[in-house]
């Protein structure tokens, strides 16, 4: 298995532009998570989906952020309009259906976003 | 919700010495405690985990202990090597959602 796939790996954009980050979870996994990582705030959960349905989006910073999961193999995180403070590494992670009560999360390589 | 605190934020040890990282959590219903290692510029990767029905788990030079009564768990790395240098994150989980600590940057000095 190729693992969790994210694209692009690096994105540099100007303030005000729309940014779309993409994620393909591991085949067979039914939970998908979007995280943001910065030096100041560490790893923050933005949103997570279970069976393509958003379960908890309380970590989404504001209305400029939106996430979708149209099918089991694809998710997007969109920022519009982008701002310099959105600069961070964005990770996508997926986990398999419950095995008992415990689930390991597998992280993608991340997208390093720089907003100028 | 769950609140996970992790200490120390930075740790330097001499090669061959032991390193200990500690985490506390607030939700007594949390039942799964993974530890992730993140090397510079790389993704977090699971190195060891412990379930709530176990007090200690060991995998070669790495061990994790859990005290459910006190709601704290720790990562122990023995005989540290330069390749152990990385940021380590603890997490507490109940169900699908993980709550991560703020990370510990470990430097092993050759």
* B51 vs A: CB within 8 A: yes
* B89 vs A: CB within 8 A: yes
CB contact under 8 A, B43 and A107: yes
Q: How many angstroms separate the CA atoms of B17 and B94, rounded? A: 34
Percent of chain B at pLDDT > 70 equals 100
Q: What is the pLDDT of residue B59?
A: 92
Helices (H) and strands (E) in chain B — how many of each?
Answer: 0, 11
Give per-residue pLDDT as tens, B4-33: 999 999 999 999 999 999 999 999 999 999
Q: Between chain A and chain B, how many beta carbons pairs sit less than 8 Å apart?
A: 50
Q: What is the pLDDT of residue A102?
A: 62
The contacts of residue B59 (CB under 8 Å, 6+ apart) are B47, B48
Residues of A in contact with B103 (CB under 8 A): 42-43
pLDDT of residue B36 exceeding 70: yes
Q: Using an 8 Å Cβ cutoff, are B23 and B93 in contact? A: no
How far from A41 is each of A4, A89, B31, B82, B100, CA to CA, in Å?
23, 12, 24, 26, 11
C-alpha Rg value of chain A to the nearest Å: 14
SS3 B28: coil
Q: Which of B93, B96, B100 sits opposite A43 (nearest CB)?
A: B100
Q: Which of A33, A43, A45 sits opposite B89 (nearest CB)?
A: A43
Nearest CA to B82 among B34, B17, B21? Answer: B17
Given the structure tokens 């934020």, which residue do they identify?
B9
* Token code pair at residue B22: 């500690």
Question: Mean pLDDT across the stretch A101-115?
Answer: 89
Given the structure tokens 């005290």, which residue do they identify?
B67
Give per-residue pLDDT as tens, A53-80: 999 888 898 899 999 999 999 999 999 9
Q: What is the pLDDT of residue B47?
A: 95
Q: What is the pLDDT of residue B97?
A: 82
User: How does residue A84 score in pLDDT terms, banded at 50, 70 and 90?
Assistant: very high
Question: Mean pLDDT across the stretch B77-95?
Answer: 95
Q: Using an 8 Å Cβ cutoff, are A13 and A114 in contact? A: yes
Q: What is the pLDDT of residue A99?
A: 59
The contacts of residue A42 (CB under 8 Å, 6+ apart) are B89, B100, B101, B102, B103
Q: Which of A56, A91, A110 sits opposite B97 (nearest CB)?
A: A56
Q: What is the pLDDT of residue A100?
A: 55
Q: How far is A87 from chain B (nearest CA, A)?
A: 15
The contacts of residue B11 (CB under 8 Å, 6+ apart) are B19, B21, B104, B105, B106, B107
């Amino acid at each position: 298995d190729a693992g969790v796939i994210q694209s692009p790996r690096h994105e540099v954009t100007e303030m005000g532009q729309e940014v779309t980050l993409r994620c393909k979870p591991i085949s067979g996994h039914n939970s998908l998570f979007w995280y943001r990582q910065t030096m100041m705030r560490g790893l923050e959960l933005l949103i997570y989906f279970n069976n393509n349905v958003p379960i908890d989006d309380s970590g989404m910073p504001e209305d400029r952020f939106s996430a979708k999961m149209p099918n089991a193999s694809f998710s997007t995180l969109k920022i519009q309009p982008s701002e310099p403070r959105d600069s961070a590494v964005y990770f996508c992670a997926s986990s398999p259906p419950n095995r008992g009560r415990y689930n390991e999360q597998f992280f993608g390589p991340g997208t390093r976003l720089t907003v100028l | 919700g769950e609140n996970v605190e992790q200490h120390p934020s930075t740790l330097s040890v001499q090669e061959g010495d032991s390193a200990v990282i500690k985490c506390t959590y607030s939700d007594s219903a949390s039942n799964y405690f993974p530890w992730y290692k993140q090397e510079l510029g790389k993704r977090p990767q699971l190195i060891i985990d412990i379930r709530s029905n176990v007090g200690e788990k060991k995998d070669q030079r790495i061990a994790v202990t859990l005290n459910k009564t006190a709601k704290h768990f720790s990562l122990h790395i023995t005989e540290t090597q330069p390749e152990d240098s990385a940021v380590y994150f603890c997490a507490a989980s109940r169900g699908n959602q993980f709550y991560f600590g703020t990370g510990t940057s470990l430097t092993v000095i050759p």
